[in-house]
């Protein structure tokens, strides 16, 4: 354990850079505790807080710029990849995109404080055409606020952190194992949360070909688009309606319970559509199915979209 502490003291700046870079790249290895720890060491004069802040911001900008450029090149495809890799179950539902659409590039200032949102926000900035200057400005502000708050907490509670380090040092190898156990439990907890989330989405789907045939044969299922407004403006399945987050359109009884409801989104595993479908089933609708592949599968099949609001 003393060896680990010596490594932190000797290579703290490199550790901060590597940890922040890896976390912002999407790995479930929290960098905030490392920043708090090095902030406490800075309070003892072992590091310059300004250097730690600069290194953390630089690492965050490098990782975020990578996701931004990927978003510009691959569009929503890179978002699908991020959602599949993420351990945060709530990072890929429509609220994530809705937050970015509502606040725009300014949401980057708080993205790092929201688990699972930082990488997605950077990729969304690229996919939605945010200018490089605006991206770098707001992302840098967000990185400064995020890293600066951790370093400040470290200096504020430096005596407490020092006591904790002394306890871990006294524990020797057991202290190192304890740290490894905490990290393992954190990752396992996130994985289990995602596993339960994905299990909850299991329900019967309808293919785009089936839906197209239904529409061609004159059947009139209720088609619901649950994407963010900006995405909806780029085209919807003909006849699709949108619903608000409070489901007021359904609560008002405007839509008969006997009608079949098809819900679609533009996210991996139809996550947003399945969540809305589950909510509608709770409200008494008995025939609700997510559209397999969502709007992307509909377009890939060559079927037309309606851009009318």
Strand 222-225: give its sheet, edge to edge. 241-242, 222-225, 261-264, 288-290
Could you tell me which residues come within 8 angstroms of residue 214 by beta carbon, excluding any fewer than 6 positions away?
Answer: 221
Q: Identify the residue whose tokens are 């709530």.
A: 90
- DSSP structure class, residue 42: H
Strands 222-225 and 288-290: unpaired
Is 265 catalytic? The answer is yes
Could you tell me which residues come within 8 angstroms of residue 102 by beta carbon, excluding any fewer than 6 positions away?
Answer: none
Instruction: Give the 3-state secondary structure percentages of the chain, helix then strand then coil, rounded to 5.
Output: 65, 5, 30
**Cα–Cα dist 129/73, whole Å:** 10
What would the two tokens of residue 155 be?
């200096």
Pick from 179, 113, 121: nearest CA to 146: 113
**Cα–Cα dist 74/269, whole Å:** 19
Work out the number of other CB atoms within 10 angstroms of the CB of residue 125.
Answer: 28
User: Could you say which of 83, 92, 265, 267 is catalytic?
Assistant: 265
Q: Which residues are catalytic?
A: 265
């Amino acid at each position: 354990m003393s060896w680990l502490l010596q490594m932190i003291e000797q290579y703290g700046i490199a550790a901060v850079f590597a940890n922040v870079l890896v976390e912002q790249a999407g790995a479930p290895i929290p960098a905030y505790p490392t920043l708090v720890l090095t902030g406490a060491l800075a309070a003892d004069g072992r590091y310059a807080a300004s250097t730690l802040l600069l290194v953390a911001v630089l690492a965050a900008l490098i990782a975020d710029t990578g996701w931004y450029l990927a978003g510009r090149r691959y569009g929503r495809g890179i978002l699908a990849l991020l959602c599949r890799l993420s351990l945060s179950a709530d990072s890929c539902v429509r609220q994530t995109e809705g937050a970015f659409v509502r606040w725009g590039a300014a949401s980057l200032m708080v993205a790092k404080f929201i688990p699972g949102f930082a990488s997605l926000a950077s990729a969304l900035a690229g996919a939605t055409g945010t200018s490089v200057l605006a991206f770098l400005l707001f992302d840098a502000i967000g990185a400064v606020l995020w890293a600066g708050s951790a370093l400040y907490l470290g200096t504020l509670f430096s005596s407490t952190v020092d006591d904790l380090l002394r306890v871990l040092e006294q524990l020797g190898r057991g202290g190192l194992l304890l740290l490894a156990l905490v990290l393992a439990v954190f990752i396992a907890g996130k994985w289990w949360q995602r596993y339960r989330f994905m299990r909850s989405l299991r329900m019967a789907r309808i293919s785009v070909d089936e839906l197209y045939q239904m529409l061609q044969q004159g059947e009139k299922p209720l088609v619901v688009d649950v994407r963010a407004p900006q995405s909806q403006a780029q085209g919807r399945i003909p006849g699709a309606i949108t619903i608000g987050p409070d489901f007021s359109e359904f609560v008002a009884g405007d839509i008969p319970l006997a009608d079949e409801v098809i819900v679609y989104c533009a996210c991996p595993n139809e996550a947003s559509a399945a969540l809305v479908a589950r909510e509608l089933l709770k409200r008494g609708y008995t025939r609700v199915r997510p559209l397999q592949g969502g709007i992307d599968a509909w377009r890939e099949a060559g079927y037309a979209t309606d851009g009318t609001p």
